[in-house]
Structures are given as structure tokens and as C-alpha cells.
Amino acid sequence: MRGAAQRTVAERAEFGREARKEVPRSSHAVWSPSEGRRDPVTLLEEQNETRLPFLVPLRHARMRVSPFTFYRGTARIMAADLTPTPVSGLTAQLGGDAHLSNFGAYASPERQLVFDANDFDETLRGPWEWDLKRLAASFTVAGQHLRVLSQGVSEGHGSRRPVVPGGDGRVRRHGRARSLVRPPQRRGHPGSGRDGSHGVRLPARPVPAACPEEEQSPGVAQAGGRGRWALPDPQRPPVLFPLRDLPAEYEPAALEALVLSALEDYKGTLSDERRWLLDQYTPVDIGIKVVGVGSVGTRCSIILLQGRDEQDPLFLQAKEAEASVLEEHLGPSPYENSGRRVVEGQRMSQAQSDIFLGWTEGMEGRQFYVRQLRDWKGSVEVEDGTPRQMRFYARLCGRTLARGHARSGDPIAIAAYVGKGTVLDDALADFSEAYAAQNMEDYQRFQAAIESGRLEASDLA
């Protein structure tokens, strides 16, 4: 039996068109909770069972700030909700949690600033539409929170329609592109990904100049080691403290030895030239970091290493990787180590990846992936963004997601399924509005659970 790569272009395009007949693009507009939908608070409580108990209240505190911060922590809830929705049968490597804050800038191996998806904790192969719906709904939820309801990217949307991450033109372009040969570059174009697919590269100052006809993205700040482009949480910065300051019952000294041992094991997942480079650095200190919103409570260590002198530091982050929330519905990952699942999914989707990306295993069989902590990383700040800027950022994220799906799926079949019109954009806008209402209802249940004492919430920062 021939796979996608062995079928002709015509056969692959026909597969996409046939999928469109079986599952019309308009069918993706529908959202309604399925009969027997599980209590969203219960789903969160079950996740907490594997988290560090003293950090669970902080997770709840971060999620309760707004409907959008709640949405950021509900990848498991949405995975369950997407399971009964229509799927075209086209698959790709999913980010699994493709909301708008999980895109941003970072340094490529060639030390150029690039924009891409940057969170793959839930990555798994699955229905291509799931990422689109997660991303589109995030713009609606954030837009409602920020009171930015604006015209969508498709003609025909009224002035109060939500922003949707249009990437249809880029999907069709990937469907026409060759697999390895780079397409001709326009003069002055900043470059393309290692596989010929154009990633979004940015100049030294992280201004998204890939689309010069657009108004620049909101809230852009000089990276200088770390950009700050994030939809800001109205809360304190992430918790970061030395490992030695952990409560005595966690045995900090023993944990330090385990972290250093896991670091050595991790080096075995790097290519020889990158391992040689890393061996030029010596570990000097270890910290504990409380990351993100949905990830709060997972184990995360920061390792400070020193090169030739104190002016040559390297920070590595070893973050716990649990089973993807998608595995409950799509089956287990082919990788035994969840850290490797994250690494391989990231490499498959990103045009450029961290040179120190790898995986390891720690105490009690817990699995981790390792990357640089702050490698010119930045994200987009939309708190004061205009509707026009939100549309620009939505298109940027949509195009970035389209490239990742083209790298890991069948771009010809996907392009044929999407077609040339705005049917899919319209459907995503309708879905997003309906799911934003569901998110608000779940958020209110979550708030009620905190107020009743069922869930504890406190800011430990």
C-alpha cells in the first residue's frame, strides 16, 4: 500500500477533495457539548494528582485571573471536547495546545531571530483540524477578554466577528512547494527554513517584518537576550528559587545529584558535535522554576552552566514531560519517553529548533525534555493591541501553524481540502464563538469550585 509520499500529486489532491465531500468544511462550525461531557473541574483535579502538591494552588491562582488564563490551562478539557467533532481524516504532528501565547520568537542555530510555535508539551500526531480550532478559539477568548472584537480575515464577516488565524493562502503555497528545493527568494527576504519551507525570520530587533504591508505587531520590545512580547498575565512573574531552598522533605541534596545524573544521560541524546560543545560548560548551580499556567506543578529544573569564565553562562531548562492530553483520545505516543515525544514533535514542526534540545529521565521514572532557558525568547504582547494588529498576529500564527502542518502532514491533500474560498475561515469563526461561550461557562464553574473550597487557590510567588 502506498503512503502519501508514493502517491502522485493528482492522487493526493483528489484525496483532499474527497475528504471535503465526506466531511464538509462547514461542518467544523458546529460546537455543542456532547451528552455525558465530563465535568471540567474533575478533569483538572485528575491532572493535579501528578503535580507537586504545594504548587497546585498556584496553578489555580494563575488560571483564575481571567477567562483567557483559564483557557491556557485547559488543553485536556478541549482535547476531550474535540474528540467527537468532525475530522477530515487528514493528520499532522499537532502542537496539541496551539493557543496564541504558545507562539513566539527565539534564536535559530544561525543566531537569527525567528518566529514559530514554541510549546510542544502536548504534541502528538492527530487530526489536523484540532490545532486550528484550539488556535482560533484562543483569539476569540482573548479578544473578548481584551474587548477586541474585530472584523475577521474573510470577507463577509461582520464588524463583531472574531479574529481567526487565516492561513489558507500559505496552505495552498505549501501544497505547491517542492519537498527539498527552496523556492526562489525575493531580494532582501531574510531566509527560509532548513527544508525549504519559509519560516518567519526576524531582524535583530524582533519586529515581524515578514509581512511589510501590515502594521507591525503590538507590544514588540528589544530582545537583547530575551524579548518580552507576551499577553501579560496580571500576576507576579514565574517563581524561581534555588533547589537548595526546597523544603527538607524533598531532600534537596539528593535531588541535586539526580539532576546532575539526568544531565549526563541527556547528553547522550545530542549529536556528537553538540555534545562536545556542551561539554565545554560546567554545572555550577540548580534552580526550580514554576512555569506557565497549565504546566504549574510539573517538575522543572534550571541548570546554570559556566563556560570559559563568569561572562560565558549557559542556562538549560529540564521540564517534566507527562503523557500528552491527546493520548487519552488518540492512543499512545510511539516513544516510550515523553520527553522524546516532545523533542521529536518539535523538530518535526519547527523550521529551526534549539541546538541543545534533548530528553532524559529522572527519579521515579519521571521523564523530561531539555532546552535552553532563554535563547532570545520573546512573545507578543497584545494587551494594548488594536483590531488591525490582532488580525496581523492571527495571520502570522495561522501561517506558522500551516507551515508546521505542511512539514509533518500531506500539504497537497490539506491544500485541496481547504480550497480557495473562505468556507473554512467562516466555520472556524463560528466554532470559536461557540467554544468561547463554553470556555466562559467552564471558567465560572472553576471559579465556583474555588469559592466553595473544592479547589484551593493561592499566589505563592
Tell me: the pLDDT tens digits for 336-371? 999 999 999 999 999 888 999 999 998 778 899 999
Burial class (CB in 10 A: 0-12, 13-18, 19+), 192: middle
Q: What is the DSSP string of 431-443?
A: HHHHHHHHHHHHH
CA dist., res. 297 & res. 286, Å (int): 18
22-26, 45-49, 292-296, 418-422: least confident range: 292-296
Percent of the chain with pLDDT over 70: 76
Q: What is the pLDDT of residue 17?
A: 95
pTM of the model: 0.82
* Of 204 and 120, the one with more pLDDT: 120
Which residues is 287 bridged to in the sheet?
242, 302
2-6, 12-16, 73-77, 321-325: least confident range: 2-6
Q: Which residues, other chains included, contact 97 with Cβ-Cβ below 8 Å and sequence gap of 6+? A: 75, 119, 121, 122, 134, 294, 325
Q: What is the pLDDT of residue 168?
A: 57
Percent of the chain with pLDDT over 90: 53
Is residue 127 within 8 A of residue 60, CB to CB? The reply is: no
Angle, CA of 161, 166 and 169, to the nearest 5°:
140
| 4 — pLDDT class (breaks 50, 70, 90) | low
| 184 — pLDDT class (breaks 50, 70, 90) | very low
DSSP-derived 3-state class of residue 182: coil
DSSP-derived 3-state class of residue 119: coil
CA dist., res. 105 & res. 82, Å (int): 28
- Give the rounded distance of the alpha carbon of 380 from its chain centre: 13
For residue 180, pLDDT over 70 is answered with no
CA dist., res. 239 & res. 244, Å (int): 15
Q: What is the pLDDT of residue 97?
A: 94
Q: What is the DSSP string of 195-218?
A: TS---EEE-SS---TTSTTSPPPT
- What is the mean predicted confidence (pLDDT) over 259-281? 94
Instruction: Tell me the average pLDDT of the chain.
Output: 81
Q: Strand runs (DSSP E) across 207-322, as ranges?
A: 240-242, 282-289, 300-306, 313-320
Q: What is the pLDDT of residue 151?
A: 35
For residue 217, pLDDT over 60 is answered with no
* Of 208 and 137, the one with more pLDDT: 137
Which residues is 114 bridged to in the sheet?
106, 201
Is residue 212 within 8 A of residue 460, CB to CB? The reply is: no
Residue 385 backbone dihedrals phi, psi, to 5 degrees:
-70, 150
Helical pair 9-22 and 411-418, crossing angle rounded to 10 deg: 40
Q: What is the largest CA-CA distance in the chain?
A: 65
pLDDT tens string 78-128: 999 999 999 999 999 999 999 999 998 888 887 788 899 989 999 999 999
